[in-house]
Amino acid sequence: MAISKKTVRDLDFKGKRVLMRVDFNVPMKDGVVQDDTRIKAALPSIRYVLEQGAKSVVLMSHLGDPKKDMKKAQEKAAKENKPFDEQKYLSAKHRMAPVAAKCAELLGKPVKTAPACMGPETDAIVAGLANGEVLMLENTRFHKEETSKEQADREKMAKALATYGDIYVNDAFGSAHRAHASTETVAQYLPAVAGFLMEKELEYLMEKVVKDPARPFVAIIGGAKVSSKIAVLESLLGKVDRLIVGGGMAYTFLKAKGLDVGSSLVEEDMLGLAREILQKAYESHIYIYLPIDHIVTKEFSADAESWHVARGNIDADQMGMDIGPMTIEKFKGAIRGAKTIFWNGPVGVFEFDKFSKGTVAIANAMAELPDCVTVIGGGDSVSAVNKAGVASKMSHISTGGGASMELVEGKELPGVAALNNK
């Protein structure tokens, strides 16, 4: 299913300088990349433009939010009465050199680094790149213009970045929901196309989930809070055939139906909205599947003593931590026969092994479905399918939690809108 935006397949890269926005916002610890999934995801686009004869490839990405993250780290150090070394912290968490080294290792060729994202020194390095060389710019968020709310600030940075390429390729789906200088504004100054990762994300999320899902279409929405999923729940009600709600947010729905949920996580200010969603689903003949039994504890901890209880029988001092065996079977029945499944959010406190059984069971059930498009909408759901060991059996695992949710909500992503149409 083709997307409406131009991709790297639509342009001639021979002899061209390529400026490519990637999503190398990877977890770091002491200057070492902890998970290289996002780097690996960008390799096909990098390799393709090089194979097509690109003169040079200049990569750019953010890595955390240096200003905001450093402030938190400083406050933590002060609270613990520990010294704080600003440069050591930035090198360990926010500088691109270790990321460039990991990229070089995976790419199988050197990746040079620049001392800044832009400026005279970087200008000189870019100008001196030999045929086929790859350069990684420094963290884009070291420049306040990158995320500025002022269009003029973003344009200033975008114009500087645009001098580093003849063609702009955006392969950073995880940042496509941000109208930043390197993700959206720069596309105004160069021919702008999607990379392979961006193309795949749009193909699955936009075309196969939002626009034209094969039916029956089932959505599984979990996680802690209803408030963070309001827009996606309301959007999906107009698209799905069946909706499964699990995780902490399910208890707000259960309480809205008049059931006792004990001390389980409930957003009291969302009870009215939960009732509205239940009523809308009823009027639209869409069945919402909620937990019918639970694994409960008296404290929120990984090794807390637990009990199995039926829905409506949760005592005042007990909280739901996972779905029970009857709910697992009910949810498995709901996805049986589905042709499209979109999943965002675990159905229990899956980060605690003891309470991950429900989430893992759902992941395994999805992996066994024949002829079904299974799309994992980023965030904790990705960790869940990895924990279950079935990631390779999913049709698509999104690299952008926030971006994937906004797309499914029906929002236009600035980084996608800025790309050239076919």
**Residues with active-site annotation:** 38, 225, 379, 402
Give the whole-angstrom CA distance, residue 25 versus residue 56.
22
SS3 content of the chain, % helix, strand, coil (to 5): 45, 15, 40
The tokens describing 306, both together, are 């637990």
What angle in degrees, to the nearest 10, is found between the helix axes of 401-409 and 230-237? 40
What element of type H or E holds 41?
helix 37-51
* Total count of residues recorded for the chain: 422
> Strands, E, within 61-185: which ranges?
111-113, 133-136, 167-170
- Render 242-307 in DSSP notation, one character per residue: EEEE-STHHHHHHHHTT--BTTS---GGGHHHHHHHHHHHHHTT-EEE--SEEEEESS-STT--EE
Nearest to 302 by CA among 316, 326, 322: 322
Give the whole-angstrom CA distance, residue 186 versus residue 164.
11
**Which residues are within 8 A (CB) of 126 and not within 5 positions of it... i.e. 6 or more apart?**
56, 58, 114, 135, 163, 164
Nearest to 22 by CA among 5, 38, 33, 3: 38
The tokens describing 158, both together, are 């975008």
